[in-house]
Structures are given as structure tokens and as C-alpha cells.
């Protein structure tokens, strides 16, 4: 088996994701970095609004990107992608987790949305320069004939 093609905007379902505080839950993640020779970078998705605005798009000051629910952009519920603790995975660790059925690629966001998420992260003070360097590559629209 070969590794699935992973690019920014790829949506992952991670069964039994372990949080830094020891908690565990099944979570969705969105890949925001998939550059050749670098670790994959993903951000966690949540449907819990909490203090976050319900305005679609990026909020670099708040450290999140909001995707409205309804399924147009894959998520059925309003979803916030949280930038504060991105998760890095080597390609070997990613493939190991796919083979163990812990991680499953389940969908893709549109290219313009994945580019907007990465651009928002680049403007976010809570994202380290190191993680900003892992973002991308940007989605390129198909060339017109």
C-alpha cells in the first residue's frame, strides 16, 4: 500500500487523538502544510464556538479560521480550525497511523479555502515562525486550455 496523497486542505479523521493534557477523543484535522521533505502540519477542528465569532473566514487575531456548516465546504456543522497548537507528523508516522487505521483521509477543502487558511495562519501571532515555514504549498487552480 502506498501513502495517500496529502496536500493542504486534506481533511483527516484521527481516532483516539491524545491531547497534551492526557485527554483522548476522535477529532478532525485539516492539513495546512505538506511540503516535500518536511513534516506534515495539521490543525485541529472543533464545532464548539465558545468565545469565537461566527463570521466565516479567518481571524488571525483570534487564532482560528471559521468554516460555516451545511456541507458546502465539507463540514456539516459550523467548524473552527484552531491555530494555537498545530500538530506535526512525519510521513513515516503518518503512514504508520494510516496503516493502523488511527488516521483516515476523509475529504478535501476547496483550494481557495485551504489557501485562505494558510494565509490567515501566516498573519497569526500565535503561530511560530517555524510552523509558518511548514505551511503550504499553495493550491494552484487548474490551467486553462
- pLDDT of the residue at 4: 54
Q: Report the C-alpha gap between 1 and 67 in whole angstroms.
A: 33
Domain annotation covers residue 145: no
- pLDDT of the residue at 136: 93
Domain annotation covers residue 141: no
**Sign of the torsion angle spanned by Cα atoms 8, 9, 13, 14:** positive
Domain annotation covers residue 66: yes
Whether residue 42 contacts residue 97, with contact meaning beta carbons closer than 8 Å, is answered with: no
pLDDT, tens only, 75-127: 999 999 999 999 999 999 999 999 999 999 999 999 999 999 999 999 999 99
**CATH code of the domain containing 30:** 2.30.30
Its domain, for residue 71, covers 10-134
Domain annotation covers residue 2: no
Overall domain count for the chain: 1
Domain annotation covers residue 120: yes
Domain annotation covers residue 24: yes
Q: Report the C-alpha gap between 131 and 12 in whole angstroms.
A: 19
Domain annotation covers residue 140: no
Domain annotation covers residue 4: no
Say what the pTM is.
Answer: 0.92
Amino acid at each position: 500500500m502506498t501513502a495517500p496523497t496529502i496536500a493542504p486542505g486534506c481533511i483527516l479523521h484521527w481516532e483516539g487523538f491524545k491531547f497534551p493534557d492526557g485527554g483522548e477523543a476522535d477529532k478532525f484535522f485539516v492539513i495546512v502544510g505538506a511540503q516535500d521533505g518536511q513534516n506534515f502540519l495539521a490543525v485541529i477542528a472543533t464545532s464548539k464556538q465558545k468565545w469565537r465569532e461566527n463570521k466565516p473566514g479567518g481571524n488571525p487575531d483570534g487564532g482560528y479560521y471559521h468554516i460555516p456548516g451545511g456541507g458546502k465546504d465539507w463540514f456539516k456543522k459550523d467548524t473552527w480550525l484552531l491555530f494555537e497548537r498545530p500538530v506535526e507528523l512525519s510521513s513515516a508516522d503518518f503512514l504508520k497511523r494510516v496503516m493502523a487505521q488511527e488516521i483516515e483521509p476523509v475529504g478535501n477543502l476547496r483550494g481557495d479555502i485551504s489557501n485562505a487558511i494558510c494565509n490567515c495562519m501566516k498573519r497569526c501571532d500565535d503561530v511560530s515562525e517555524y510552523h509558518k515555514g511548514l505551511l503550504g504549498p499553495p493550491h494552484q487552480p487548474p490551467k486553462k486550455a
